[in-house]
Amino acid sequence: MKTLATTFFLLSAALAHAGPPAKVPSSDPDDMTARRFLTGSDFETGMTFAEVQAVISRRYADWQKTENRLPVKTKQDGAPATFVATVELKSPRAPGDSPLSDVYRLSFTSPLSGSVLYGITRDVKFSHLPKDRIATGQWVRTLSAYWGEPYAVVGPDEDKLVSAAFFFNDAGVATARGDGFCTKMFAKLDAISRNAADNTREVIGEIEKEGCHFLVEARAIVGEHDLLVRTLSRRTDVHAYVKDMDARQSRGSR
């Protein structure tokens, strides 16, 4: 675990001959390891709310669904309405099933930006049985196979949490690390989301300049024998998210 960043680098170098992706790839449905913890290809950023609902009805009908709504002013002088900001899908589970929990969280822009899917998160908790868990090395190899060398790696910390972030521009080409702007922008995004800043146009310009349009993030909590206790994987269209925040800010809807 202490050489996790080095491991990512060596694996990405071995995979460099594959060249940059035509778009930000989702996991292969035939990849049995990826199927256990990564967001699959059922949901893609840019899908409309209606398209997502159709997929849920077709493939996740037996999953528990919870919707969270937020207010938005769709007209400058109109009364606030509400829209579905997130949908949470929780996998059905019988006693003895593994994993212990498998949850999707789907995040949507407001109607001001077309109510499209901008964020896909999958949160998986594994049982205590070693046979049900994923080895850290296998996790690293799977991430590297899809996305190459991370833009940033953090951890493991005192809670045994490790995370890796990958950024891609609007063409799906991996972003050069440069001075690390893509990770520095998180503080700005947090301030915007908490109504503590109004510089959305500035952030949009920096995202476009630096190529931080898409974020792929992977987190894991490592247990005994380097086996994973829990994983979280996320794909986010950061550009779409900030543009929607800008549209909502202009209507006083944040």
For residue 10, pLDDT over 70 is answered with: no
Question: With bands split at pLDDT 50, 70 and 90, how would you rate the model's confidence at 231?
Answer: very high
Say if CB 251 and CB 112 are below 8 A apart. yes
Query: Considering only 59-68, 83-92, 245-254, which range has the smallest mean pLDDT?
Result: 245-254
pLDDT for 151 equals: 87
Q: What is the dihedral of CA 23, 24, 30, 35, to 10 degrees?
A: -160
Q: How far is CA 1 from CA 144, 162, 163, 221, 239, in A?
A: 15, 9, 12, 11, 32
Whole-model pTM: value is 0.84
Beta pairing partners, 234: 121, 217
Question: With bands split at pLDDT 50, 70 and 90, how would you rate the model's confidence at 29?
Answer: low
Distance in angstroms (rounded) separating the CA atoms of residues 167 and 94: 37
Strands, E assignment, the chain: 64-72, 81-90, 101-108, 117-125, 152-154, 161-168, 214-222, 228-237
Per residue in 196-205, pLDDT tens?
Answer: 556 788 888 8
131 contact partners, CB below 8 Å, separation of at least 6: none
Q: Which residue has the higher pLDDT, 17 or 109?
A: 109
Per residue in 86-117, pLDDT tens?
Answer: 999 999 987 777 788 999 999 999 999 999 99
Distance in angstroms (rounded) separating the CA atoms of residues 159 and 46: 35
pLDDT for 62 equals: 95
pLDDT, average across residues 150-171: 88
The pair of three-digit structure tokens given for residue 170, joined into one six-digit string = 């609007």
Distance in angstroms (rounded) separating the CA atoms of residues 228 and 206: 35
**pLDDT over 90 for what percent of the chain?**
47
pLDDT for 12 equals: 39
